[in-house]
Structure 1
Protein backbone atom coordinates (compact mmCIF):
# COMPACT_ATOMS: atom_id res chain seq x y z
CA UNK A 1 0.00 0.00 0.00
CA UNK A 2 1.26 3.50 -0.85
CA UNK A 3 2.39 5.84 1.90
CA UNK A 4 2.62 9.61 2.25
CA UNK A 5 4.63 11.82 4.60
CA UNK A 6 2.97 14.35 6.91
CA UNK A 7 4.34 16.91 9.35
CA UNK A 8 3.28 16.82 12.98
CA UNK A 9 3.35 19.72 15.43
CA UNK A 10 3.26 19.76 19.24
CA UNK A 11 1.37 22.41 21.19
CA UNK A 12 0.06 23.25 24.66
CA UNK A 13 -3.58 24.34 24.94
CA UNK A 14 -4.37 27.43 27.01
CA UNK A 15 -7.84 28.86 27.73
CA UNK A 16 -7.84 32.52 28.73
CA UNK A 17 -4.97 34.48 30.25
CA UNK A 18 -2.57 32.07 31.89
CA UNK A 19 -4.98 29.20 31.32
CA UNK A 20 -7.25 30.41 34.12
CA UNK A 21 -10.54 30.13 32.22
CA UNK A 22 -10.79 26.40 31.65
CA UNK A 23 -9.10 23.37 30.15
CA UNK A 24 -9.27 22.14 26.59
CA UNK A 25 -9.22 18.55 27.85
CA UNK A 26 -12.40 19.10 29.88
CA UNK A 27 -14.09 20.64 26.84
CA UNK A 28 -13.10 17.62 24.75
CA UNK A 29 -14.52 15.31 27.41
CA UNK A 30 -17.80 17.25 27.36
CA UNK A 31 -17.93 17.20 23.56
CA UNK A 32 -17.24 13.46 23.46
CA UNK A 33 -20.44 12.87 25.43
CA UNK A 34 -22.58 14.61 22.81
CA UNK A 35 -24.10 12.90 19.79
CA UNK A 36 -22.46 15.47 17.52
CA UNK A 37 -19.90 18.17 18.25
CA UNK A 38 -20.87 21.78 17.73
CA UNK A 39 -20.27 23.29 14.30
CA UNK A 40 -18.80 26.81 14.10
CA UNK A 41 -19.37 28.95 11.00
CA UNK A 42 -16.72 31.43 9.91
CA UNK A 43 -17.51 33.19 6.64
CA UNK A 44 -18.16 30.54 4.00
CA UNK A 45 -16.47 27.79 6.00
CA UNK A 46 -17.72 25.59 8.83
CA UNK A 47 -15.49 23.89 11.39
CA UNK A 48 -16.34 20.84 13.44
CA UNK A 49 -14.60 18.21 15.54
CA UNK A 50 -15.50 14.71 14.35
CA UNK A 51 -14.64 11.11 15.22
CA UNK A 52 -13.84 12.26 18.78
CA UNK A 53 -13.04 9.30 21.01
CA UNK A 54 -11.71 9.45 24.59
CA UNK A 55 -9.39 6.71 25.79
CA UNK A 56 -7.40 5.94 28.93
CA UNK A 57 -10.54 6.73 30.97
CA UNK A 58 -10.82 10.21 29.50
CA UNK A 59 -7.17 11.09 30.00
CA UNK A 60 -6.50 11.15 26.25
CA UNK A 61 -8.46 11.86 23.08
CA UNK A 62 -8.24 11.22 19.37
CA UNK A 63 -10.26 13.10 16.80
CA UNK A 64 -10.46 14.93 13.50
CA UNK A 65 -10.79 18.68 13.02
CA UNK A 66 -12.88 19.10 9.87
CA UNK A 67 -13.16 22.17 7.65
CA UNK A 68 -16.25 22.13 5.42
CA UNK A 69 -16.30 24.56 2.48
CA UNK A 70 -19.63 25.08 0.70
CA UNK A 71 -18.64 27.81 -1.80
CA UNK A 72 -15.94 28.14 -4.47
CA UNK A 73 -16.00 24.37 -4.91
CA UNK A 74 -13.35 23.20 -7.42
CA UNK A 75 -14.21 21.17 -10.50
CA UNK A 76 -13.04 17.66 -11.26
CA UNK A 77 -10.71 17.67 -14.25
CA UNK A 78 -7.92 15.90 -16.08
CA UNK A 79 -4.87 16.91 -18.09
CA UNK A 80 -6.80 15.85 -21.18
CA UNK A 81 -9.04 18.90 -20.80
CA UNK A 82 -12.18 17.20 -19.47
CA UNK A 83 -13.89 19.05 -16.62
CA UNK A 84 -17.08 18.59 -14.61
CA UNK A 85 -18.67 19.89 -11.46
CA UNK A 86 -18.65 17.99 -8.19
CA UNK A 87 -22.22 16.87 -7.62
CA UNK A 88 -23.15 18.10 -4.12
CA UNK A 89 -26.45 18.58 -2.37
CA UNK A 90 -27.30 22.04 -1.03
CA UNK A 91 -26.22 21.10 2.52
CA UNK A 92 -22.96 19.44 1.46
CA UNK A 93 -19.44 20.76 0.95
CA UNK A 94 -15.81 19.80 0.45
CA UNK A 95 -14.14 18.51 3.62
CA UNK A 96 -10.49 18.80 4.65
CA UNK A 97 -9.28 17.10 7.83
CA UNK A 98 -6.55 17.41 10.43
CA UNK A 99 -6.11 14.42 12.74
CA UNK A 100 -5.07 15.10 16.34
CA UNK A 101 -4.30 13.50 19.68
CA UNK A 102 -4.80 15.36 22.95
CA UNK A 103 -3.47 14.48 26.39
CA UNK A 104 -4.93 15.87 29.61
CA UNK A 105 -1.51 15.69 31.25
CA UNK A 106 0.07 19.07 30.43
CA UNK A 107 -2.73 19.80 27.89
CA UNK A 108 -0.55 18.43 25.09
CA UNK A 109 -1.84 18.60 21.50
CA UNK A 110 -0.29 16.46 18.75
CA UNK A 111 -1.58 17.91 15.47
CA UNK A 112 -1.28 16.67 11.88
CA UNK A 113 -0.41 19.38 9.38
CA UNK A 114 -2.53 19.57 6.25
CA UNK A 115 -1.85 22.37 3.80
CA UNK A 116 -5.46 22.25 2.57
CA UNK A 117 -6.89 21.82 6.05
CA UNK A 118 -6.87 24.05 9.12
CA UNK A 119 -4.03 25.70 10.98
CA UNK A 120 -3.71 25.25 14.72
CA UNK A 121 -4.78 28.91 14.95
CA UNK A 122 -8.17 27.94 13.47
CA UNK A 123 -8.34 25.05 15.95
CA UNK A 124 -7.92 27.59 18.73
CA UNK A 125 -10.66 29.83 17.33
CA UNK A 126 -13.04 26.85 17.36
CA UNK A 127 -12.59 26.47 21.12
CA UNK A 128 -12.65 30.24 21.62
CA UNK A 129 -16.13 30.34 20.08
CA UNK A 130 -17.39 27.41 22.11
CA UNK A 131 -15.99 28.59 25.45
CA UNK A 132 -16.34 32.34 24.92
CA UNK A 133 -12.74 32.65 26.12
CA UNK A 134 -9.71 33.15 23.89
CA UNK A 135 -8.06 29.76 23.42
CA UNK A 136 -4.59 29.34 21.93
CA UNK A 137 -2.31 26.41 21.25
CA UNK A 138 1.27 27.47 21.86
CA UNK A 139 3.94 25.69 19.84
CA UNK A 140 6.46 23.79 21.95
CA UNK A 141 9.98 25.04 21.32
CA UNK A 142 13.12 23.01 21.81
CA UNK A 143 14.42 23.17 25.36
CA UNK A 144 17.30 25.59 24.75
CA UNK A 145 15.12 28.04 22.81
CA UNK A 146 12.38 27.78 25.44
CA UNK A 147 14.84 28.54 28.25
CA UNK A 148 16.05 31.66 26.42
CA UNK A 149 12.47 32.68 25.62
CA UNK A 150 11.32 32.40 29.25
CA UNK A 151 14.44 33.57 31.06
CA UNK A 152 13.71 36.51 33.35
CA UNK A 153 17.34 37.64 32.94
CA UNK A 154 17.11 38.03 29.18
CA UNK A 155 15.16 40.78 27.45
CA UNK A 156 14.04 40.61 23.81
CA UNK A 157 15.79 43.35 21.83
CA UNK A 158 14.56 42.79 18.27
CA UNK A 159 11.81 40.77 16.63
CA UNK A 160 12.02 40.06 12.90
CA UNK A 161 8.95 38.91 10.97
CA UNK A 162 8.21 38.08 7.37
CA UNK A 163 4.51 37.48 6.77
CA UNK A 164 2.25 36.82 3.81
CA UNK A 165 -1.27 38.22 3.87
CA UNK A 166 -3.97 35.55 3.52
CA UNK A 167 -6.69 36.51 1.04
CA UNK A 168 -9.35 35.21 3.45
CA UNK A 169 -9.75 37.47 6.54
CA UNK A 170 -11.02 34.46 8.49
CA UNK A 171 -7.43 33.20 8.50
CA UNK A 172 -6.10 36.26 10.36
CA UNK A 173 -4.69 35.49 13.83
CA UNK A 174 -6.99 36.34 16.71
CA UNK A 175 -5.33 39.58 17.84
CA UNK A 176 -5.81 43.26 16.98
CA UNK A 177 -2.20 43.85 15.88
CA UNK A 178 -2.26 41.18 13.19
CA UNK A 179 -5.66 42.28 11.91
CA UNK A 180 -4.46 45.88 11.64
CA UNK A 181 -1.27 44.78 9.85
CA UNK A 182 -3.14 42.64 7.33
CA UNK A 183 -5.77 45.36 6.90
CA UNK A 184 -3.01 47.83 6.03
CA UNK A 185 -1.50 45.38 3.55
CA UNK A 186 -4.90 44.75 1.96
CA UNK A 187 -5.51 48.50 1.67
CA UNK A 188 -2.42 48.94 -0.51
CA UNK A 189 -2.87 45.58 -2.24
CA UNK A 190 0.25 44.25 -0.52
CA UNK A 191 0.94 40.53 -0.30
CA UNK A 192 4.09 40.24 1.79
CA UNK A 193 5.65 42.33 4.56
CA UNK A 194 8.97 42.14 6.38
CA UNK A 195 9.10 43.86 9.76
CA UNK A 196 11.85 44.42 12.31
CA UNK A 197 10.79 45.65 15.74
CA UNK A 198 13.50 47.04 18.01
CA UNK A 199 13.20 47.74 21.72
CA UNK A 200 13.79 51.35 22.66
CA UNK A 201 13.69 53.09 26.01
CA UNK A 202 13.71 51.24 29.31
CA UNK A 203 11.52 50.01 32.08
CA UNK A 204 8.15 48.30 32.26
CA UNK A 205 6.66 49.91 29.13
CA UNK A 206 9.35 48.37 26.92
CA UNK A 207 8.89 45.00 28.59
CA UNK A 208 5.14 45.04 27.98
CA UNK A 209 5.64 46.07 24.35
CA UNK A 210 8.12 43.30 23.61
CA UNK A 211 6.07 40.69 25.47
CA UNK A 212 3.11 41.60 23.28
CA UNK A 213 5.31 41.45 20.18
CA UNK A 214 6.44 37.95 21.19
CA UNK A 215 2.81 36.81 21.45
CA UNK A 216 1.99 38.34 18.07
CA UNK A 217 4.99 36.59 16.49
CA UNK A 218 3.90 33.24 17.95
CA UNK A 219 0.33 33.76 16.70
CA UNK A 220 1.55 34.54 13.18
CA UNK A 221 3.65 31.37 13.18
CA UNK A 222 0.76 29.22 14.43
CA UNK A 223 -1.56 30.70 11.79
CA UNK A 224 0.85 29.68 9.04
CA UNK A 225 1.19 33.28 7.81
CA UNK A 226 4.83 33.79 8.87
CA UNK A 227 7.83 32.27 7.10
CA UNK A 228 10.36 34.17 9.24
CA UNK A 229 9.93 34.81 12.97
CA UNK A 230 13.09 35.44 14.96
CA UNK A 231 13.58 36.97 18.39
CA UNK A 232 16.99 38.35 19.39
CA UNK A 233 17.57 38.33 23.13
CA UNK A 234 19.93 40.75 24.85
CA UNK A 235 23.35 39.24 25.47
CA UNK A 236 22.71 36.11 23.34
CA UNK A 237 24.26 35.88 19.88
CA UNK A 238 21.95 33.21 18.45
CA UNK A 239 18.34 34.43 17.95
CA UNK A 240 15.35 32.28 18.81
CA UNK A 241 13.75 31.04 15.61
CA UNK A 242 10.05 30.41 16.29
CA UNK A 243 9.84 28.25 13.16
CA UNK A 244 13.12 26.30 13.06
CA UNK A 245 13.27 25.84 16.87
CA UNK A 246 9.85 24.19 17.19
CA UNK A 247 9.53 20.55 18.19
CA UNK A 248 8.16 18.89 15.05
CA UNK A 249 8.09 15.42 13.52
CA UNK A 250 7.52 13.83 10.14
CA UNK A 251 5.51 10.64 9.85
CA UNK A 252 4.80 8.21 7.02
CA UNK A 253 1.20 7.01 6.82
CA UNK A 254 -0.49 4.40 4.66
CA UNK A 255 -2.95 5.80 2.13
CA UNK A 256 -6.27 4.47 0.96
CA UNK A 257 -6.24 5.92 -2.51
CA UNK A 258 -5.89 9.69 -2.02
CA UNK A 259 -6.73 9.64 1.69
CA UNK A 260 -4.69 8.64 4.75
CA UNK A 261 -5.99 5.66 6.71
CA UNK A 262 -7.33 7.25 9.91
CA UNK A 263 -6.25 4.47 12.28
CA UNK A 264 -2.76 4.56 10.78
CA UNK A 265 -2.62 8.35 11.14
CA UNK A 266 -3.55 8.16 14.83
CA UNK A 267 -0.97 5.42 15.35
CA UNK A 268 1.69 7.56 13.63
CA UNK A 269 0.82 10.60 15.78
CA UNK A 270 1.23 8.52 18.93
CA UNK A 271 4.55 7.14 17.74
CA UNK A 272 5.80 10.65 16.90
CA UNK A 273 4.98 11.78 20.42
CA UNK A 274 6.78 8.79 21.92
CA UNK A 275 9.85 9.27 19.72
CA UNK A 276 10.15 12.90 20.82
CA UNK A 277 9.37 12.20 24.47
CA UNK A 278 12.82 13.41 25.57
CA UNK A 279 12.38 16.78 23.85
CA UNK A 280 8.85 17.15 25.22
CA UNK A 281 9.89 16.09 28.73
CA UNK A 282 12.66 18.69 28.72
CA UNK A 283 10.05 21.43 28.24
CA UNK A 284 6.97 20.01 29.97
CA UNK A 285 8.78 18.55 32.96
CA UNK A 286 8.32 14.85 32.24
CA UNK A 287 5.27 12.59 32.18
CA UNK A 288 3.99 14.47 29.16
CA UNK A 289 1.80 11.63 27.93
CA UNK A 290 -0.53 9.01 29.26
CA UNK A 291 -0.28 5.80 27.30
Structure 2
Protein backbone atom coordinates (compact mmCIF):
# COMPACT_ATOMS: atom_id res chain seq x y z
CA UNK A 1 0.00 0.00 0.00
CA UNK A 2 1.23 3.54 -0.74
CA UNK A 3 0.80 6.69 1.30
CA UNK A 4 -0.43 10.02 -0.02
CA UNK A 5 3.00 10.97 -1.34
CA UNK A 6 3.16 7.85 -3.47
CA UNK A 7 5.92 6.11 -1.50
CA UNK A 8 5.71 2.74 0.22
CA UNK A 9 4.48 2.95 3.80
CA UNK A 10 6.91 1.85 6.50
CA UNK A 11 6.19 -1.44 8.22
CA UNK A 12 7.21 -3.10 11.45
CA UNK A 13 7.46 -6.79 12.25
CA UNK A 14 6.35 -8.29 15.55
CA UNK A 15 6.65 -11.76 17.03
CA UNK A 16 3.46 -13.44 18.21
CA UNK A 17 3.31 -16.08 20.94
CA UNK A 18 0.44 -18.41 21.82
CA UNK A 19 -0.55 -19.48 25.33
CA UNK A 20 -3.18 -21.62 27.01
CA UNK A 21 -5.01 -19.38 29.49
CA UNK A 22 -5.97 -20.71 32.92
CA UNK A 23 -8.16 -18.78 35.37
CA UNK A 24 -9.03 -20.78 38.50
CA UNK A 25 -11.32 -20.01 41.42
CA UNK A 26 -11.09 -22.60 44.21
CA UNK A 27 -9.30 -24.86 41.65
CA UNK A 28 -12.33 -24.67 39.36
CA UNK A 29 -11.74 -23.30 35.82
CA UNK A 30 -13.50 -20.02 35.07
CA UNK A 31 -13.55 -17.77 32.01
CA UNK A 32 -10.95 -15.02 31.80
CA UNK A 33 -12.83 -13.57 28.81
CA UNK A 34 -16.04 -13.29 30.86
CA UNK A 35 -14.08 -11.68 33.69
CA UNK A 36 -12.59 -9.00 31.42
CA UNK A 37 -15.95 -8.47 29.72
CA UNK A 38 -17.49 -7.72 33.12
CA UNK A 39 -14.65 -5.32 33.94
CA UNK A 40 -15.17 -3.59 30.59
CA UNK A 41 -18.88 -3.15 31.32
CA UNK A 42 -18.04 -1.60 34.70
CA UNK A 43 -14.89 0.44 34.05
CA UNK A 44 -14.64 0.81 30.29
CA UNK A 45 -11.55 0.33 28.12
CA UNK A 46 -8.94 1.28 30.74
CA UNK A 47 -8.35 -0.58 34.00
CA UNK A 48 -6.37 0.62 36.99
CA UNK A 49 -2.58 0.82 36.99
CA UNK A 50 -0.55 -1.09 39.59
CA UNK A 51 3.14 -1.29 40.41
CA UNK A 52 5.03 -4.51 39.79
CA UNK A 53 8.70 -4.26 40.64
CA UNK A 54 9.96 -0.85 39.51
CA UNK A 55 7.36 -0.24 36.79
CA UNK A 56 3.65 0.43 36.57
CA UNK A 57 1.38 -1.77 34.44
CA UNK A 58 -2.14 -1.27 33.16
CA UNK A 59 -4.66 -2.83 30.78
CA UNK A 60 -5.85 -0.43 28.09
CA UNK A 61 -8.00 -0.52 24.92
CA UNK A 62 -10.10 -3.39 26.31
CA UNK A 63 -12.67 -4.27 23.64
CA UNK A 64 -15.03 -7.30 23.56
CA UNK A 65 -15.86 -8.64 20.11
CA UNK A 66 -19.44 -8.30 18.89
CA UNK A 67 -19.95 -12.09 18.82
CA UNK A 68 -18.38 -12.67 22.26
CA UNK A 69 -15.75 -15.02 20.84
CA UNK A 70 -12.82 -12.93 22.00
CA UNK A 71 -11.75 -9.81 23.82
CA UNK A 72 -8.79 -7.67 22.75
CA UNK A 73 -6.68 -5.13 24.57
CA UNK A 74 -3.19 -3.91 25.33
CA UNK A 75 -1.00 -4.66 28.34
CA UNK A 76 0.78 -1.37 29.00
CA UNK A 77 4.09 -0.91 30.79
CA UNK A 78 5.18 2.51 32.04
CA UNK A 79 8.98 2.53 32.05
CA UNK A 80 10.80 4.56 34.68
CA UNK A 81 14.21 4.51 33.00
CA UNK A 82 15.61 7.48 31.07
CA UNK A 83 17.24 6.27 27.83
CA UNK A 84 20.10 8.00 26.07
CA UNK A 85 19.50 9.81 22.78
CA UNK A 86 22.20 10.91 20.37
CA UNK A 87 23.42 11.26 16.81
CA UNK A 88 26.15 9.67 14.65
CA UNK A 89 28.29 12.76 15.32
CA UNK A 90 28.74 11.57 18.88
CA UNK A 91 26.36 13.87 20.74
CA UNK A 92 24.59 12.11 23.62
CA UNK A 93 22.17 13.19 26.30
CA UNK A 94 19.63 11.68 28.68
CA UNK A 95 16.07 12.07 27.44
CA UNK A 96 14.08 13.43 30.37
CA UNK A 97 10.31 13.45 30.51
CA UNK A 98 8.09 15.97 32.24
CA UNK A 99 6.74 15.18 35.70
CA UNK A 100 4.14 12.42 35.76
CA UNK A 101 5.12 11.04 32.36
CA UNK A 102 6.77 7.68 31.59
CA UNK A 103 7.82 5.85 28.48
CA UNK A 104 4.91 3.67 27.40
CA UNK A 105 5.29 0.18 25.93
CA UNK A 106 2.17 -1.70 24.83
CA UNK A 107 1.74 -5.39 24.07
CA UNK A 108 -1.51 -5.99 22.22
CA UNK A 109 -3.36 -9.24 22.86
CA UNK A 110 -6.42 -11.30 22.13
CA UNK A 111 -8.06 -13.72 24.54
CA UNK A 112 -10.00 -16.16 22.36
CA UNK A 113 -12.48 -18.92 23.15
CA UNK A 114 -11.38 -22.37 22.00
CA UNK A 115 -12.87 -25.85 21.98
CA UNK A 116 -14.04 -27.58 25.17
CA UNK A 117 -14.55 -24.30 27.07
CA UNK A 118 -10.83 -23.51 26.87
CA UNK A 119 -9.28 -20.09 26.14
CA UNK A 120 -6.09 -19.00 24.41
CA UNK A 121 -3.92 -15.90 24.64
CA UNK A 122 -2.51 -14.52 21.38
CA UNK A 123 0.18 -12.04 22.44
CA UNK A 124 2.21 -9.51 20.45
CA UNK A 125 5.72 -9.54 21.87
CA UNK A 126 8.14 -6.61 22.22
CA UNK A 127 11.61 -6.32 23.70
CA UNK A 128 10.87 -3.63 26.29
CA UNK A 129 7.19 -4.36 26.89
CA UNK A 130 5.45 -6.47 29.49
CA UNK A 131 5.89 -10.24 29.29
CA UNK A 132 2.87 -12.58 29.64
CA UNK A 133 4.27 -13.56 33.06
CA UNK A 134 3.84 -9.92 34.14
CA UNK A 135 0.37 -9.94 32.57
CA UNK A 136 -0.69 -12.89 34.73
CA UNK A 137 0.86 -11.25 37.80
CA UNK A 138 -1.18 -8.10 37.11
CA UNK A 139 -4.37 -10.19 36.96
CA UNK A 140 -3.51 -12.09 40.14
CA UNK A 141 -2.64 -8.93 42.08
CA UNK A 142 -5.86 -7.19 41.05
CA UNK A 143 -7.99 -10.27 41.73
CA UNK A 144 -6.42 -12.36 44.54
CA UNK A 145 -9.47 -14.64 44.76
CA UNK A 146 -8.51 -16.33 41.48
CA UNK A 147 -5.31 -17.69 39.99
CA UNK A 148 -4.32 -16.81 36.41
CA UNK A 149 -1.51 -18.42 34.42
CA UNK A 150 -0.45 -18.60 30.78
CA UNK A 151 1.37 -21.71 29.52
CA UNK A 152 3.15 -21.90 26.17
CA UNK A 153 1.32 -23.87 23.51
CA UNK A 154 3.64 -26.39 21.88
CA UNK A 155 3.56 -27.54 18.28
CA UNK A 156 3.18 -31.19 19.22
CA UNK A 157 1.24 -31.40 22.46
CA UNK A 158 0.83 -29.83 25.87
CA UNK A 159 3.52 -30.18 28.49
CA UNK A 160 1.26 -32.36 30.59
CA UNK A 161 0.68 -34.71 27.66
CA UNK A 162 4.38 -34.65 26.81
CA UNK A 163 5.40 -35.67 30.33
CA UNK A 164 2.46 -37.88 31.24
CA UNK A 165 3.71 -41.27 32.41
CA UNK A 166 7.33 -40.45 31.51
CA UNK A 167 10.20 -39.81 33.88
CA UNK A 168 12.12 -36.58 33.36
CA UNK A 169 15.78 -37.54 33.50
CA UNK A 170 17.46 -34.20 32.79
CA UNK A 171 16.79 -30.50 32.24
CA UNK A 172 19.39 -28.29 30.53
CA UNK A 173 18.85 -24.55 30.17
CA UNK A 174 20.58 -21.28 29.34
CA UNK A 175 19.58 -17.93 30.86
CA UNK A 176 20.69 -14.50 29.68
CA UNK A 177 21.20 -11.37 31.75
CA UNK A 178 18.42 -8.89 30.82
CA UNK A 179 19.34 -5.77 28.88
CA UNK A 180 16.62 -3.83 30.66
CA UNK A 181 17.89 -3.00 34.16
CA UNK A 182 14.33 -2.73 35.49
CA UNK A 183 13.49 -6.34 34.54
CA UNK A 184 11.90 -8.33 37.37
CA UNK A 185 11.55 -12.14 37.05
CA UNK A 186 8.38 -13.92 38.04
CA UNK A 187 8.64 -14.54 41.82
CA UNK A 188 7.61 -18.16 41.22
CA UNK A 189 10.50 -18.63 38.76
CA UNK A 190 13.19 -19.29 41.36
CA UNK A 191 15.65 -20.79 38.86
CA UNK A 192 15.68 -17.60 36.76
CA UNK A 193 15.82 -15.43 39.89
CA UNK A 194 18.80 -17.35 41.31
CA UNK A 195 20.57 -17.38 37.92
CA UNK A 196 20.23 -13.60 37.51
CA UNK A 197 21.53 -13.01 41.03
CA UNK A 198 24.55 -15.18 40.21
CA UNK A 199 25.15 -13.27 36.98
CA UNK A 200 24.95 -9.96 38.86
CA UNK A 201 27.47 -11.13 41.45
CA UNK A 202 29.95 -12.42 38.86
CA UNK A 203 29.46 -9.91 36.04
CA UNK A 204 28.48 -12.71 33.68
CA UNK A 205 26.16 -12.40 30.68
CA UNK A 206 24.90 -15.98 30.29
CA UNK A 207 24.60 -18.97 32.55
CA UNK A 208 24.19 -22.55 31.35
CA UNK A 209 23.05 -25.26 33.75
CA UNK A 210 21.96 -28.89 33.72
CA UNK A 211 20.04 -30.87 36.32
CA UNK A 212 20.03 -34.64 35.87
CA UNK A 213 19.67 -37.91 37.71
CA UNK A 214 21.88 -40.98 37.25
CA UNK A 215 19.86 -43.56 39.18
CA UNK A 216 18.14 -45.92 36.71
CA UNK A 217 14.35 -45.95 36.43
CA UNK A 218 14.02 -42.75 38.44
CA UNK A 219 13.16 -39.19 37.46
CA UNK A 220 13.50 -35.70 38.86
CA UNK A 221 10.98 -34.73 41.53
CA UNK A 222 7.37 -33.83 40.70
CA UNK A 223 7.91 -30.08 41.09
CA UNK A 224 10.26 -30.10 38.11
CA UNK A 225 7.38 -29.60 35.66
CA UNK A 226 6.48 -26.22 37.21
CA UNK A 227 10.17 -25.25 37.04
CA UNK A 228 10.20 -26.12 33.33
CA UNK A 229 7.01 -24.14 32.71
CA UNK A 230 8.50 -21.09 34.41
CA UNK A 231 11.66 -21.32 32.30
CA UNK A 232 9.61 -21.73 29.15
CA UNK A 233 7.59 -18.62 29.99
CA UNK A 234 10.61 -16.50 30.93
CA UNK A 235 11.82 -13.91 28.43
CA UNK A 236 15.40 -14.54 29.57
CA UNK A 237 15.54 -18.25 28.71
CA UNK A 238 17.69 -18.78 25.63
CA UNK A 239 17.78 -22.59 25.55
CA UNK A 240 15.69 -25.30 27.23
CA UNK A 241 16.07 -29.02 26.56
CA UNK A 242 14.69 -31.95 28.50
CA UNK A 243 15.55 -35.64 28.44
CA UNK A 244 12.70 -38.03 29.19
CA UNK A 245 12.79 -41.74 29.80
CA UNK A 246 12.90 -43.94 26.67
CA UNK A 247 13.65 -40.98 24.34
CA UNK A 248 16.77 -41.21 22.21
CA UNK A 249 17.33 -37.44 21.95
CA UNK A 250 16.55 -34.47 24.22
CA UNK A 251 13.43 -32.44 23.40
CA UNK A 252 14.08 -28.81 22.45
CA UNK A 253 11.16 -27.04 24.09
CA UNK A 254 12.13 -23.62 22.72
CA UNK A 255 11.78 -24.96 19.18
CA UNK A 256 8.44 -26.59 20.05
CA UNK A 257 6.69 -23.34 21.00
CA UNK A 258 3.96 -22.14 18.65
CA UNK A 259 5.06 -18.76 17.30
CA UNK A 260 4.26 -16.51 14.37
CA UNK A 261 5.21 -13.13 12.90
CA UNK A 262 3.05 -10.25 11.74
CA UNK A 263 3.93 -7.16 9.69
CA UNK A 264 1.99 -3.96 10.31
CA UNK A 265 2.01 -0.71 8.36
CA UNK A 266 3.00 2.31 10.43
CA UNK A 267 1.10 5.58 10.59
CA UNK A 268 2.78 8.93 10.03
CA UNK A 269 3.60 9.06 13.76
CA UNK A 270 5.71 5.92 13.42
CA UNK A 271 3.27 3.65 15.27
CA UNK A 272 0.74 1.13 13.95
CA UNK A 273 -2.99 1.56 14.41
CA UNK A 274 -4.42 -0.67 17.15
CA UNK A 275 -7.16 -1.91 14.83
CA UNK A 276 -4.50 -3.12 12.37
CA UNK A 277 -2.58 -4.98 15.07
CA UNK A 278 -5.71 -6.73 16.36
CA UNK A 279 -6.70 -7.71 12.81
CA UNK A 280 -3.20 -9.12 12.26
CA UNK A 281 -3.41 -11.12 15.52
CA UNK A 282 -6.73 -12.60 14.40
CA UNK A 283 -5.15 -13.60 11.09
CA UNK A 284 -2.14 -15.02 12.94
CA UNK A 285 -4.42 -17.20 15.07
CA UNK A 286 -6.08 -18.52 11.91
CA UNK A 287 -2.66 -19.56 10.57
CA UNK A 288 -1.89 -21.51 13.75
CA UNK A 289 -5.39 -22.86 14.33
CA UNK A 290 -4.35 -26.45 13.64
CA UNK A 291 -2.01 -26.31 16.66
CA UNK A 292 -4.74 -24.83 18.86
CA UNK A 293 -7.27 -27.44 17.74
CA UNK A 294 -4.74 -30.19 18.45
CA UNK A 295 -4.32 -28.98 22.04
CA UNK A 296 -7.86 -27.88 22.92
CA UNK A 297 -9.81 -30.33 20.79
CA UNK A 298 -8.60 -33.47 22.51
Report TM bin, short chain.
0.7 to 0.9
Query: Among residues 162, 173, 177, which one is paired with 1:149 in the alignment?
Result: 162
Matched, 1:47 2:44: no
The structure-2 alpha-carbon separation of the partners of 1:240 and 1:147, relative to structure 1 and needing over 3 Å to count, comes to farther
CA displacement, residues 51-86 of structure 1 (integer Å, 9 cap, x when unaligned): 00001444311111110113x222443223455654
Unaligned segments of structure 1, at least 5 residues:
287-291
Residue in 2 that maps onto 1:159: 171
- Distance change in 2, residues 1:63/1:144 (3 Å): closer
Q: 2:36 aligns with which of 15, 22, 28?
A: 28
Structure 2 length normalisation: TM-score?
0.83
Deviation at 1:18, TM superposition (A): 9.6
TM-score, normalised with respect to structure 1: 0.85
**Which residue matches 1:223?**
234
Partner of 2:3: none
Among 132, 140, 153, the alignment partner of 1:120 is: 132
Select between 143-152 and 234-243 the one with higher mean Cα deviation.
143-152
CA shift in 2, pair 1:21/1:130, >3 Å? farther
Residue of structure 2 equivalent to 1:96:
105
Match of 1:171 in 2: 184
Note the aligned Cα RMSD (angstroms). 2.7
More helix by share: 1
Query: Structure 2: which 5+ residue stretches go unaligned?
Result: 1-8
- 1:13 matches 2:27: no
1:176-222: CA deviation from partner (whole Å, max 9, x where unpaired): 6233443344344443221111135589xx66x54422322221232
User: Using a 3 Å threshold, how does the CA distance of structure 1 residues 136 and 79 change in structure 2: closer, same or farther?
Assistant: same
Asked if the contact 1:49–1:66 (Cα under 8 Å) also holds between the matched residues in 2, the reply is yes
